[in-house]
Amino acid sequence: MRKKLPKFSLHFFCLLVYIFLAAPIVVVLLSSLTTTDYIVFPPKGITFKWYAELVNHPEFMQSFTLSIIVAFGTSIIATIIGTMASIAVVRYEFKGKSVITQLVGSPLLIPSVVFGVALLQFYSWIGIAASPIALVIGHIILTIPFVMRLVVASLVGFDRSIEQAAMNLGAGSLRVFFQITLPIIKSGVIAGAIFAFITSFDDLTVALFIVSTDVVTLPVRIYTYMQYQYDPIITSISSIMILLTVVLMVVIERVLGVGKVFASKN
Amino acid sequence: MSYLCLENVVKTFNKTEVVKKMNLEIEKGELVSFLGPSGCGKTTTLNMIAGFLEVDGGKIVVDGKPVHLLPPNKREMGMVFQNYALFPHMTVFDNVAYGLKLRKVSKAEINQRVLEALEMVRLSGYEKRYPKELSGGQQQRVSLARALVIKPKVLLLDEPLSNLDAKLRQEMREEIVGIQKKVGITTIFVTHDQEEALAISDRVAVMYEGRIEQVDTPAAIYNHPQTDFVSRFIGEVNHIQAEVMESNDDQPCKVSFDGYQQVLSHHVPKGVLSEFYLRPEKIQINLENNQGLKVLVERKMFLGSKTRYIFLNNNQYLFADISNTVFNPDQIKEGQEVLAVWNPEDLLPVKK
Ligand SMILES: Nc1ncnc2c1ncn2[C@@H]1O[C@H](COP(=O)(O)OP(=O)(O)OP(=O)(O)O)[C@@H](O)[C@H]1O
Ligand SMILES: [Mg+2]
């Protein structure tokens, strides 16, 4: 007979995995509080001076603002396009539908470095200079698959007679969309928007290919800064990024539960 | 002209005609059921009337005006769906109020009419609930209130009760007919449950393969089926054959069921076998004299108020349902030979 492992050993193993996953984040957060002017863990003393020091680095603040704007624009446009495309894919039969589905799924499969190179080539070929808009377009392509995964999941099993009922009561198709369809699939749409935001905000690989002196997003800024200096400025700005992402994840959790988001990605 | 008219309505899916030149006239305030087997085109027809499907031919006229080219939101039809189709993100009140809000009715009037509608379906006090907090029967009542509150020209119900359990189904159907009669609204009720259709309808339209086979009152449908399909589809029938003995234009027609002779009021060509349908409850057992069809009692099944007898004659089964108050089943035993009798008027000629 096979001996059963005691239950606590499973729990212990899970705990180890969690610690392993969370450790880098905790290290970054804590070492941003160090009083030394080099990064060290555990931190020596506790201070918030490195956060205050960020004020003396306007380039970080500019990058932060740029990243937020790019992520915001990406999120809104990718969500609109992704939602409309999801509706088309789920509800209508049309020529080339499978091609579109494949195409839309491909950024999930292609390594983002490859995608970055491709985008760079493409932009130089059609003559688009590096600009926030160019970056937003790249990020939209990168994030539409995420949006579509989530929105398609919320559309599958959507009972269309609900929309027919609204039409029957006198609602035109625009009204039906905004008053009935959208509210019902809103959790998928919101989750998609937040995923798009986070993906764009955190993206380094694609952004690296589109940098110019005036288009430097926060991850790129941190990356380049680190090549010359290694002080707690890095960890403090990283901590801010982490916290922002955490806040957004909590919002998703509130809206529809993280478990559901990942289940529906399947 | 009737209130609702279908004139040669056609619907084609992928080159197959699913609804074939359908004609139907419904009077104001009438309740007509569409009854037919699965896939005969009931939902398709209803969706064309509601405007969710375009007609591929013919006209739909309501109150003298053609409506078949209007979009569904301009047709003023009230639809109740099989799965209720309530708006899950709105309360019961908002569900019912939705159509009124679109019609720009004043707030006070909306409030009054919604409350009235909910009272009519016995759901007062449920205004603040969400659909998922209601039972199936309650959801269906909200759906009915939502359809009726806008005072539609026609009420369309697509198998509204099929998701409910048997007892609730019966209660709800009575409630629906009660409300329908009170409001006096022209109604089409789709069902594939014949008992339901016969119980509630002013007239029943029996459909088969995209055609209306017969439109008639429930009694006429049951007692005088006009087509072979209707005879077989409505109720149960025995299929029996007789030999035609005599049939002249000026004389009654004599037929013989394996020796059991009967005189019919209509004429059949002489010398051929004539086929009839006979309902099980029209058959009696004769113990008095030697008139009747000789049958072997193969089985008796006690069914409470009645007994079902399975008779055998020349390798042909014959089912009879006889009330236990009319005939005491203990008088005969399985394996015994008896005489089965019926009235010649109850024979339904098979139409080919
Ligand atoms: N959108 C469609 N495309 C192709 N064929 C369809 C479509 N809708 C219905 N049909 C076909 O049309 C026929 C009639 O369908 P319909 O839904 O009207 O049947 P029904 O009488 O309502 O049956 P049920 O009692 O099962 O609801 C069926 O054979 C069905 O397969
Ligand atoms: Mg149907």
What's the per-residue H, E or C state across chain B? Answer: CCCEEEEEEEEEECCEEEEEEEEEEECCCCEEEEECCCCCCHHHHHHHHHCCCCCCEEEEEECCEECCCCCHHHCCEEEECCCCCCCCCCCHHHHHHHHHHHCCCCHHHHHHHHHHHHHHCCCCCCCCCCHHHCCHHHHHHHHHHHHHCCCCCEEEEECCCCCCCHHHHHHHHHHHHHHHHHHCCEEEEEECCHHHHHHHCCEEEEEECCEEEEEECHHHHHHCCCCHHHHHHCCCCEEEEEEEEECCCCCCEEEEECCEEEEECCCCCCCCEEEEEECHHHCEEECCCCCCEEEEEEEEEECCCEEEEEEEECCEEEEEEEECCCCCHHHCCCCCEEEEECCHHHCEECCC
Cβ of B52 within 8 Å of Cβ of A167? The answer is: yes
CATH architecture of A32-265: Orthogonal Bundle (1.10)
CATH of domain B238-349: 2.40.50.100
pLDDT at A55 over 50: yes
Nearest CA to ligand 1 atom 4: B13
* pLDDT tens-digit map of B276-305: 889 999 999 998 888 889 999 999 999 989
Residue ranges of domains in chain B: 4-233, 238-349
* CATH for B4-233 (3.40.50.300, 3.40.50.1360, 3.40.50.720, 3.30.230.10): 3.40.50.300
The answer to whether residue A182 neighbours chain B at the CB level (below 8 Å) is: no
- Mean pLDDT is lowest, of A56-65, B125-134, B249-258, B336-345, for B249-258
* pLDDT tens-digit map of B228-273: 899 889 888 898 888 887 767 667 788 888 888 888 876 666 656 6
* pLDDT tens-digit map of A140-183: 998 999 899 889 989 988 999 999 999 999 999 999 999 999 99
The answer to whether residue A77 neighbours chain B at the CB level (below 8 Å) is: no
Nearest CA to ligand 1 atom 30: B39
* Phi and psi, residue B98, nearest 5°: -55, -50
The mean pLDDT of B205-210, rounded to a whole number, is: 94
Q: What is the pLDDT of residue A266?
A: 33
Query: What is the reported pTM?
Result: 0.81
Locate the ligand 1 atom nearest the alpha carbon of residue B82 and give its number. Answer: 27
In chain B, what residues touch A166 (CB-CB under 8 Å)? 87, 98
Cβ of B102 within 8 Å of Cβ of A165? The answer is: no
Is the separation of the CB atoms in A37 and A231 below 8 Å? yes
Locate the ligand 1 atom nearest the alpha carbon of residue B207 and give its number. Answer: 21
Assembly ipTM: 0.81
**Best mutation target, B73, B95, B103, B154, to test chain A (most A CBs within 10 A):** B73
pLDDT at A6 over 60: yes
Please tell me the distance between residue B43's alpha carbon and the centre of ligand 1 in angstroms.
Answer: 7
